[in-house]
Amino acid sequence: MTLSGLTVSRIGEQQRRERQTDLTMAAESATNEVLSWLQNNDGAIAYLKDMAVTSTPAFPTTTTSTSLVLVSTNVPVNFPSGMASTGAITPAIPAAFPALVGSDPVAMNATNVRNGCTVASKIIKIVPSGAVAWPSGNERFMVYTTATQGSGKTLRRQRVSAVIRVSRISESIFTRAMFSIAGYTFKGSATTDSWNSASGTVAYSTGIAGSNGGLGSNGTLDVQKPENVAGPYEGNLNIPVNPVPYNPPAVIASTTTASLTAYNNVVGALGYGNQGGNVTAILVPNISDNMVFGGAGTVKLYVNGVMNLADITFAPGSTVKLEIYQNTYSGGAESQYGKTNFGDLTNPSRLQIYTNHTGSGKVNGGTNWSAVLFGPNLTLRFNGNASYYGSMVVGSLAGLVNGNFAFHYDDSLAQIPVGSALPRLTAAAWFNRDLTFSEP
């Protein structure tokens, strides 16, 4: 019994359709895999941010590169210079599409293979951030994913060209009373609750206490007395917490060569550089002792070294807001963030501290503490009893929060823009086509 020519032809057509489906699915699934990997890899997003813009957007024909590999072994030469020596990111950028299964007898989804087709991706940046810093929403990237099937006369290739756009999502980091990247235990008589200061127009009282005084951690969170926490407590989160850049302006105050120690009425007593918009900038090697700030506008205090913040208060009748930025400072003396009276108890947002300190810091017992503290590399310790108003985001709480203190979270702090410029990558356009023999 023999098959007719028509039957053989139809079988051949069916096989070609199946191979075409495999090829299309390989290109599509690999592109989705790249996009998913980018969306869930903070290190990759950081590299996209600094990637050089391609002046003439097109599929990059370079087959080798000395730069750090991004997704595939083939990356454009315009990948940022210097990246080759920068490999210490977590998670590490993969050198290839990994095998999807540990053992595949027919190697349909082995390394660099999807649906039995070999796959490779390249990424270029085609639109920069523009006048607004990353992520501005203007950025565009091209992801080229090529799937190859067969060889010789049976060689077929298909490519997905996907336009990836970057958008901004609004997500403040100050949405809880306390957050630590590392896990911790919350025990003892410590309590949390919340209120809304309405930017300093409403003072806290037990009669208006709310239930937004939550706790959070990217690690394990053990709350031993849930009844003491007026708000949700969540562990094993996956919240990106990136340091605030330390960028003192070029025009700075005249205190750049002296430490700031035991100053009163700081704004009035020091020579300083006005940065426009009622913003005053002061740069010092380190600060210590008590300080009183007066006047109006915003004071931005840049500290290159250790901070021993004892008492920071505001002069009666003043409306000034203080932002303190501490540079990357590792080892040496422990930084202190408050001793007795620290900030404005009615308005925690008046005192904001952003530190890149990689060591330890403490808040002394008995402190009336009202501020916003952001230190993703800081290990913070609490001593004794205190009353806290505001919000804390730190790298570690030394594994334990214990004591007899009350932490009152201010709902209005969720409006502070730190953390609001988070990038979200989405596919804006998607085009799949067969490649001719002569195309790269």
- Whether residues 215 and 363 share a domain: the answer is yes
Are residue 129 and residue 204 in the same domain, yes or no?
A: no
Between the alpha carbon of residue 393 and those of residues 188, 193, 305, 355, the distances in Å are 21, 16, 20, 10
Give residue for tokens 């330390």: 246
As for how many domains the chain has, the answer is 2
409 and 427 co-located in one domain: no
Domain span holding position 141: 13-170+422-434
Distance CA 264, CA 16 (A): 83
Q: Positive or negative, the Cα torsion across 294, 295, 297, 299?
A: negative
Structure tokens at 147: 């799937």
Q: Are residues 252 and 166 in the same domain?
A: no
Rg (CA), the chain: 28
Say if residue 426 is in the same domain as residue 373.
Answer: no
Phi, psi of 172 (to 5 degrees): -75, 145
Whether 163 and 248 map to the same domain: the answer is no
Query: Would you give per-residue pLDDT tens digits along the chain (440 residues)?
Result: 555 666 656 766 777 888 899 999 999 998 888 888 777 666 667 677 777 777 667 777 654 333 333 443 333 333 333 333 333 233 333 456 777 776 665 678 887 888 889 888 888 888 887 766 676 778 888 888 899 998 888 899 999 999 988 876 556 789 999 999 999 999 989 999 999 999 889 999 999 999 999 999 999 999 999 999 999 999 998 787 877 778 787 655 544 334 444 343 344 333 333 333 467 777 777 777 777 877 778 888 888 888 877 788 888 888 888 999 888 876 666 777 777 888 999 999 999 999 988 888 888 777 789 999 999 999 998 766 778 999 999 999 998 888 888 999 999 998 887 644 456 788 888 999 999 888 88
Within a domain: 6: no
Asked if residue 68 is part of any domain, the answer here is yes
Tell me: do 58 and 196 sit in the same domain.
no
From the number of C-beta atoms within 10 Å of its C-beta (0-12, 13-18, 19+), residue 353 rates as buried
Residue 42 within any structural domain of the chain:
yes
DSSP annotation string for 223-275:
ES-GGGB-S-EE-S------PPP----SS--TTTTS-EES-SSHHHHS--EE-
Give the pLDDT score at 17: 85
In 276-421, the DSSP E strands lie at 279-284, 287-293, 298-303, 307-314, 321-326, 335-337, 341-342, 351-355, 360-363, 368-382, 387-396, 400-401, 406-410
What pLDDT was estimated at residue 74? 35
Is residue 1 domain-resident? no
pLDDT at 144: 87
Asked whether residue 250 is assigned to any structural domain, the reply reads yes
Check whether residue 369 and residue 403 sit in a common domain. Answer: yes
Task: Give the Cα separation of 356 and 354 in Å (integer).
Answer: 7
pLDDT of 268: 34
- pLDDT, position 293: 79
Q: Please indicate, yes or no, whether residues 110 and 237 belong to a single structural domain of this protein.
A: no
User: Same domain, yes or no, for 101 and 183?
Assistant: no
Q: Domain for residue 78, yes or no? A: yes
Same domain, yes or no: 137 and 203: no
The reply to whether 7 falls in a domain is no
Could you give the 3-state DSSP secondary structure of residue 210?
A: strand
User: Within this chain, do residues 246 and 142 fall inside the same structural domain, yes or no?
Assistant: no
Report if residue 292 sits inside a domain: yes
Contact 270, 254 (CB under 8 A): yes
Model confidence, pTM: 0.59
Residues 46 and 91: beta-carbon distance below 8 Å: no
